[in-house]
Amino acid sequence: MKPIALSIKGLHSFREEQTIDFEGLSGAGVFGIFGQTGSGKSSILDAMTLALYGKVERAANNTHGILNHAEDTLSVSFTFALQTNHQISYKVERVFKRTDEMKVKTALCRFIEIRDEHTVLADKASEVNKRVEELLGLTIDDFTRAVVLPQGKFAEFLSLKGAERRHMLQRLFNLEQYGDRLVKKLRRQAQEANARKNEMLAEQSGLGEASSEAVEQAEKALEQAEARLEAMRKNRDQAKARFTEYQEIWNVQKEKAAYEEEKKRLEEEQPQVDSMQKRLLEAETAAALKPYADRYAEAIQHEEKAEKEQTLAQKDLADRTAFFHQKHEEYEEWRQHKSEKEPELLTEQEQLSRLQEIEIKLSEAKQEEERKKAELQQKEEALQSVMNELETVTDRLTRGQNRQTELKQQLKSLQVTSDERKSCQQAAEMALRIRQTEEQITKEKKRSDALNLVLQKMNEEKSTLVQKMEAEKSNIIQAYEAVQTVYHMVCETERLLTRMTEQAKKRQQTLHSQREKARVALLTKELAEKLTAGKPCPVCGSTHHDPSASVHETYELDSNLEENIKQTDVLLTEAAALSQEILSAKITLEEQSARFIEQCPFLQTIQVPNLEAAASYENQPVHEAFDTATIEWKRVKQDILSVKTRMAQMISAYQESLKKADQLNEKIGFEKREADRIESIIAELQSSMDSRLNMFKEAFQDQSVNEAEKWQRAIEEKDRAAEECEKRIEKSIAFLAEHEAQKEKLRESGHQLEREKLELHYAAERIKSLIADYEHELGDYAKGDSIQIKLRSVQQDLKLLKEKEQSLYEELQSAQTMLNQAKSRASASELTLKEAKDRFEKAEAAWLEHAKSTRFTRTEEVERSLIPADELDKMKADIDQFMDKLKQNAANLERVAEILAGRALSESEWSETVTALQEAEDAFGAAIEEKGAAAKALAVIRDHHKRFNEIEAELKKWQTHIDRLDKLQAVFKGNTFVEFLAEEQLESVARDASARLGMLTRQRYAIEVDSEGGFVMRDDANGGVKRPVSSLSGGETFLTSLSLALALSAQIQLRGEYPLQFFFLDEGFGTLDQDLLDTVVTALEKLQSDNLSVGVISHVQELRARLPKKLIVHPAEPSGRGTRVSLELM
């Protein structure tokens, strides 16, 4: 564990937030925290334990009085890592708010894991405390004894008793895993082993008869079934051979009749197929002529279309030629008109543009003339306003000077002498302190009365709580006796269930034996009934059979026997389950009783009276006894649940009362101490007030305490009036200076306005002369139409000339393009017509050539004779299929005639053959089933026999394992093993501490562990004599405790995994002389190589001078500023 940063605000003397960077401090191995006595050095350790565990060890009730008296909130934040690389760090934040003068309550509490992101692991005080203890593996007591050693805690580990020290070492070195955890693990394994053993016993009892004799009998039954199966197979094969021969004849006869029927149907379809062949031939001829007929018809249509297109193209060419000539004439006429009109318009446009510019300048000059006139008017008005304001300011300045003179005279009359002021101030201060002391006495008396009332109520509450605890204790004892009673009932039920299980197993063996005898007798009867005189027995081979062996006996299996066997198997299975359930309940009750005794030690002395044994079921039948035991167990289970719940509730209530009693005693003690402190304060205050009254009377004989206040108020009134006069005089000085400056500024403004007014007058005259020149240049144009309108008209005419010329030119070009296109279309249409005529002549010749050898004379006839391709293909397929069927039918009739070769079979002969084969097959199937049943029975018996032997072997192994677990439970009973490990760990710590102590004391002292686990000192300088640690001086105690702390910190592994990389110590250096101090500091400086940082809190200047890195704690200031910290490097 390595600290990273600690932030403190509002704790003890800390007010403003202060942050300590431990990474900068701990790099040198050892660092110091220095400051004056009472500066707040120890509060740094308090902040660390408050952040981690929510407690301050030295505070009453762990949190009372920790908040700074001038603050309402307290906050601490501690960041640390468990590994040096800081890949994962943790931050604990706590904020407390004031509830009264001494107490605080938690307002915010968070435990944060810091990786790439911040994750809140817990946000409640109890959860944060739990997570911190789980993470570190240390309680606050462990932390303050081995990691952070505040004042009063340094030597505590040295003086701990053996048992307490062992318990602490168990937590520090994670030894709990070898104590209760190991015992629970052994107990759980023992439960699982017993449960497995009971399951195997139940399985073994459910296997039934699995002896070697049963296997031999099943093997003989299988041999007999195999012999019968062989006889039935021969009979079936003979029937099958005859059936095969007759089946062939019968099937061929049926096939021949079908072929003859098919031949008759084909002969009826022959005329229709002949007609289809004729239609097919005509369609094929038409399909051959169709391409020539199509080309001939297409050529006719193409020729007609070409003639029409040629006529249209010639007409379009004539129209386009006339349109082009018309557009050419229009374009030439407009060009002539443009060349005549355009020069006149350009000349007029230039003249009008120049006049327009003059007109714009004239307009701008007139506007400027109007602006100058307006500005001149504004200047005249501004000048008049300035002169009026100047007169007003001059009047105010005169009146202000007169008032200032009056105030100076009034101030002189209000001044008080220094002697009078000093006497009055002393009297007022003494009177104020007297009144404050009087008020404080009254306040403390009220607090004392309130505390006495609270103490009275607390004592009454304590009396009531004690009576309640006695009643709860009595109830717990009764409930504990009930738990023990139920435990004895469970044990008795377990004993009776074991005896009934043994009886059931004996009954099961008897029933299996009876069933096996009955089955053998039944098989013997069946075999005797099937014997035939003169034929050998399938078992012994004898041909002589005694009929008297089975005539007079009845061979029937008793159905009640099978039912009893099933019931017994079920009962054994249920008994095994119930036994496991009872065992589990018994173990639970044992654990619960141990836990109750641990929670309430007074239960160890309780003696439970012996109970009478439960009712015996030996005279009842097994099944009835088991049902009765099951019902009894259900009742006991209800009792278990009832007493467990009631006991837990009572203990919880009792522990809550104990907790309340402890808290109440703590509160009563605290309130008593507070009441005594208040009484002491009242006495001191009364004495102080009497002394101050005597001093006041001696100093001011003519004044009383009340008159001193009036005297001070009179002087204060004069001071306030004088101060008011001074303020008004100061204001008047500023007022007069301001008005003097304002007066001068107004005079300068008036002169400036006069100059600007004259300049504006001259500028207006110049603009007026310029306007006259512009009007003269315009002459008559200024009186007629607007120059702008005339110029726009001329420009519009010029634009129209150009646009019309361009439009006519574009129309001419378009007409030329359309004329060229018309010529191209006329030429192309003549060529197309010629090609169409040639194509027609060729198509006509081809059609006539191919149609002359057929019956077709016109193209329309060819189209009507065509058949669609899919219909044509179907027609061909139908004809081919008919011809194939005809050929196949003839071949089939010839083939079946050869197969029959004159043979015939009647229907009655065929039916008899089929029936004989079915009877042979049924007999063979029955024989197979009989053999299969016999084989299956043999396999089941063999499996049961094998499993029975396997279970026997496994039961021996499990029993050995259970015996070992029982021995281990006996060995690990209690905490002897954990105590042994703790003692070994303590020996290791003592050896390491002795080595360190020898270095610090020049090999004079060593530490040993006595037989009771306590520490003793060995004085090697005096012949190795041993003496108790209580005989050590202050300096020797410090050195010994330091050696133990260093040894312990070097071996601590947080949660058994992370090394402890720091610890703090807050006392002891003042008890060392100079030489020993040097030795201790040198030893601490060597710790850097051990990857351990030590923080030393002290006020010793010699120590401060030796350490390279120091955290300086500056004390709080009377002005209200809190404790501050700063880093100082050597």
Tell the burial category of 478 from Cβ atoms under 10 Å away from its Cβ (0-12, 13-18, 19+). Answer: middle
Mean per-residue pLDDT, 545-550: 52
Phi, psi of 160 (to 5 degrees): -65, 150
Closest to 1006 in 3D by CA, of 1065, 1034, 1047, 1066: 1047
- Give the model confidence (pLDDT) of 943-962 as tens digits: 877 888 888 888 888 888 88
- Give the model confidence (pLDDT) of 383-397 as tens digits: 888 888 888 888 888
Task: Tell me the HSE value of 533 on the side-chain side, using a 13 A CA sphere.
Answer: 2
Buried b / exposed e over 252-276, threshold 16 CB at 10 Å, is bbeebeebeeeeeebeeeeeeeeee
Q: Is the pLDDT of residue 568 over 90?
A: no
* pLDDT at residue number 546: 58
SS3 43: helix
132 or 282: which leads in pLDDT: 132
Beta bridge partner(s), residue 104: 98
* pLDDT at residue number 741: 83
Q: Is the pLDDT of residue 64 over 80?
A: yes
- Give the model confidence (pLDDT) of 15-50 as tens digits: 999 999 888 887 657 888 888 888 888 899 899 999
- Give the model confidence (pLDDT) of 844-876 as tens digits: 788 777 777 777 777 777 777 777 888 878 888
Q: Is the pLDDT of residue 828 over 90?
A: no
Tell the burial category of 59 from Cβ atoms under 10 Å away from its Cβ (0-12, 13-18, 19+). Answer: middle
Amino acid at site 629: A
* pLDDT at residue number 536: 62
- Give the model confidence (pLDDT) of 997-1050 as tens digits: 888 788 888 988 887 777 888 888 888 888 887 777 777 777 787 787 777 777
Q: Is the pLDDT of residue 68 over 80?
A: yes
* pLDDT at residue number 475: 79
1035 or 59: which leads in pLDDT: 59
**Annotated domain spans of the chain:** 1-147+1054-1130, 190-209+906-971, 440-545+557-673
* pLDDT at residue number 328: 85
* pLDDT at residue number 607: 61
Q: Is the pLDDT of residue 549 over 50?
A: no
95 or 1026: which leads in pLDDT: 95
Per DSSP, 64 falls in state: B
972 or 766: which leads in pLDDT: 766
Task: Tell me the HSE value of 496 on the side-chain side, using a 13 A CA sphere.
Answer: 23
Phi, psi of 617 (to 5 degrees): -115, 25
Confidence grade of residue 1089 (pLDDT, cut at 50, 70, 90): very low
* pLDDT at residue number 608: 55
Closest to 682 in 3D by CA, of 433, 441, 451, 439: 441
* pLDDT at residue number 613: 43
Beta bridge partner(s), residue 184: none
Select 1-147+1054-1130's CATH number: 3.40.50.300, 3.60.21.10, 3.40.50.620, 3.40.50.11060. Answer: 3.40.50.300
Q: Is the pLDDT of residue 10 over 90?
A: yes
Mean per-residue pLDDT, 402-418: 77
Between 171-180, 540-549, 637-646, 905-914, the lowest mean confidence (pLDDT) is in: 540-549
- Give the model confidence (pLDDT) of 925-944 as tens digits: 888 888 887 788 778 878 87
* pLDDT at residue number 171: 63
Beta bridge partner(s), residue 8: 18, 76
* pLDDT at residue number 17: 93
Tell the burial category of 726 from Cβ atoms under 10 Å away from its Cβ (0-12, 13-18, 19+). Answer: middle
Q: Distance (Å, rounded) from C-alpha 299 to C-alpha 843? A: 7
* pLDDT at residue number 166: 65
Mean per-residue pLDDT, 668-697: 82
As a residue count, the chain comes to 1130
Q: Angle at the Cα of 1045 (from 1041 to 1048), degrees rounded to 5?
A: 135
* pLDDT at residue number 485: 75
Mean per-residue pLDDT, 210-219: 75
* pLDDT at residue number 8: 95
Confidence grade of residue 695 (pLDDT, cut at 50, 70, 90): confident
Q: Is the pLDDT of residue 628 over 70?
A: no
* pLDDT at residue number 1054: 52
- Give the model confidence (pLDDT) of 161-206 as tens digits: 666 666 666 666 667 667 777 778 888 888 888 888 888 877 777 6
- Give the model confidence (pLDDT) of 414-450 as tens digits: 777 777 777 777 787 787 778 778 888 888 888 888 8
553-562, 770-779, 981-990 — most confident range: 981-990
* pLDDT at residue number 1118: 76
Mean per-residue pLDDT, 822-835: 83
Q: Distance (Å, rounded) from C-alpha 334 to C-alpha 1? A: 108
- Give the model confidence (pLDDT) of 738-786 as tens digits: 888 888 888 888 888 888 878 888 888 888 888 887 777 776 665 555 7
| Parallel/antiparallel/unpaired status of strands 1005-1009 and 1015-1019 | antiparallel
Angle between helices 559-599 and 418-529 (to 10 degrees): 160
- Give the model confidence (pLDDT) of 268-314 as tens digits: 888 888 888 777 777 777 777 778 778 878 888 888 888 888 888 88
Q: Report H helices in 852-868.
A: 859-865
Q: pLDDT averaged over the chain?
A: 78
Strands (E), 962-1047: 1005-1009, 1015-1019, 1025-1028
Q: Which sign does the torsion angle of CA 324, 325, 328, 329 carry?
A: negative
Buried b / exposed e over 531-559, threshold 16 CB at 10 Å, is beeeeebbeeeeeebeeeebeeeebeeee
Phi, psi of 369 (to 5 degrees): -65, -40
- Give the model confidence (pLDDT) of 896-915 as tens digits: 888 877 777 788 888 888 88
